[in-house]
């Protein structure tokens, strides 16, 4: 057996060994899944401050990059080297102002609304069923059938509120207070990590890129960096766009609640708007999750108002889904509705609420990677016709529309133009100063030459005068 046959045999044996090892490892992973899950959870608990800090730094990365450009466009030259620190300080001040506003205005009203709502649940239930009973009393045909059911349901609702709802809320408050110390400490350390990460984010990016190119082949390193940039763009575009979209939806809902407060006596407008805005972050299911509890809250005190509110929520979600959302999230993920639903269901089942939030961008990255692998495989096997079909299917899923800059992108473009203009002005100024220095040097050199010539002429004249005097003396 020659060397090539030995090499081929050893390669096959190694592949078989690796396949068996992976199969055995996967079997023990499934066998000890819950132990593995507990171990991973303990590691995550240890790293939780750094996870908090990383998440906060990633969310604040985009505004920090924006203020980097802003301060570079307006700061004097001697302050530009401190633009990163100034940008981070600016973003942190804005975040603290927003948090201070929430703590001073929104949070106390939300807590008060929850407290009042929890205490008024039995009364509101009785009021609702009294309204139902009075309505049914006016309808003699149905009151004999519906009234007993309504009274029984009213009794059960009151009992449920007293026996189940209030203890459940008390348990939630107790558990929240018990874990509050750990959350505060993790957030404190996470904030420090966030500040360090934001200030050194460009250095970390350069170090990470150097590590990737030192380990991988340049071809694979380029592919890895391209996928990493795509993942960053997808996550950043989806999260920032979705947060802005949800904030706008919450503000619109609050405006409607203010109008209804004057017309129909709506209460808990801030709490309702907060629920609508927060749940709107969840793709696909979020509007329904937020609409159900808020409608029930209003239904307890004003059934007609609840119907009006439900109609408004349907109109608002149609506006958000067809007008506002596409404007803010256009091209951020590039997935069809089926894959959005699939990613939310799967990641939500595995990772809970966090999976629901990050499932869409994570699956968008996986989908893009699979699409590129499929395209590469079709090209390798010379299946150009299938590649054309795949491209046509992709075009049907994501319609290409003319690129239109968002207000933020337009502002960044203006800042880039100002930065470029300032750099050109600085270059022209430097060239002018350099020309002035050259002219000054030329003038100085010519002046020195003239002075040297004058001195030489004076010396020659003195020398001639001295020689004449000496000649006259010799003649005498």
Q: Kindly state the tokens that stand for 17.
A: 């060994």
pLDDT digits (tens, 9 = 90+) for 109-163: 767 766 766 666 666 666 766 766 666 566 554 555 666 666 676 677 667 766 7
Q: What is the pLDDT of residue 44?
A: 83
pLDDT over 50 at 393, yes or no? no
Tell me the domain boundaries of the chain. 48-215, 217-331, 333-383
Look up the pTM and report it.
Answer: 0.65
Per mean pLDDT, which of 8-22, 83-97, 163-177, 367-381 is the most reliable? 83-97
pLDDT digits (tens, 9 = 90+) for 352-386: 767 777 777 888 888 888 888 888 877 777 766 66
């Amino acid at each position: 057996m020659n060397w090539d046959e030995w090499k081929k045999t050893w390669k096959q044996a190694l592949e078989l060994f690796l396949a068996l090892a992976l199969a055995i490892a996967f079997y023990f992973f499934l066998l000890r899944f819950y132990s593995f899950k507990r171990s991973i959870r303990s590691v995550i608990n240890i790293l939780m401050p750094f996870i908090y800090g990383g998440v906060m730094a990633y969310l604040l990365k985009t505004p920090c990059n924006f203020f980097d450009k802003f301060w570079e466009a307006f700061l004097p030259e001697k302050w530009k080297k401190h633009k990163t620190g100034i940008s981070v300080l600016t973003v942190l001040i804005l975040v603290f102002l927003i948090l201070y506003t929430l703590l001073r205005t929104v949070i106390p009203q939300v807590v008060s609304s929850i407290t009042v709502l929890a205490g008024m649940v039995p009364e509101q239930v009785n009021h609702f069923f009294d309204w139902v009973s009075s309505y049914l009393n006016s309808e003699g045909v149905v009151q004999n059938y519906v009234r007993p059911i309504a009274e029984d349901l009213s009794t059960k609702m009151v009992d449920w509120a007293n026996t189940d709802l209030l203890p459940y809320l008390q348990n939630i408050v107790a558990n929240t207070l018990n874990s509050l110390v750990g959350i505060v400490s993790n957030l404190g350390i996470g904030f420090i990590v966030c500040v360090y990460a934001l200030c050194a984010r460009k250095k970390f990016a350069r170090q990470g890129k150097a590590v990737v190119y030192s380990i991988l082949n340049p071809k694979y390193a380029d592919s890895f960096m391209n996928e990493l940039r795509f993942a960053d763009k997808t996550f950043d575009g989806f999260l920032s766009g979705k947060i802005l979209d949800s904030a706008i939806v919450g503000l619109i809902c609050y405006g409607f609640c203010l109008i209804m407060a004057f017309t129909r006596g709506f209460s808990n407008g801030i709490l309702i708007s907060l629920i609508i805005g927060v749940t709107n972050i969840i793709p696909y299911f979020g509007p329904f999750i937020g609409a159900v509890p808020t409608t029930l809250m209003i239904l307890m005190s004003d059934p007609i108002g609840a119907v009006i509110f439900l109609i408004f929520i349907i109109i608002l979600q149609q506006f958000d889904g067809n007008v506002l959302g596409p404007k803010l999230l256009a091209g951020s993920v590039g997935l069809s509705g089926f894959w959005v639903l699939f990613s939310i269901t799967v990641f939500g089942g595995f990772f809970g609420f966090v999976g629901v939030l990050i499932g869409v961008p994570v699956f968008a990255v996986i989908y893009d990677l699979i699409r590129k692998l499929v395209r590469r495989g079709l090209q390798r096997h010379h299946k150009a016709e299938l590649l054309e079909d795949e491209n046509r299917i992709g075009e049907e899923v994501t319609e290409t529309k003319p690129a239109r800059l968002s207000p933020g992108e337009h502002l960044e473009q203006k800042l880039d133009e100002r930065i470029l203009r300032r750099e050109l002005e600085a270059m022209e100024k430097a060239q002018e100063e350099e020309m002035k220095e050259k002219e000054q040097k030329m003038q100085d050199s010519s002046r020195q030459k003239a002075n040297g010539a004058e001195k030489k002429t004076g010396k020659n004249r003195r020398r001639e005068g001295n020689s004449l005097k000496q000649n006259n003396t010799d003649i005498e």
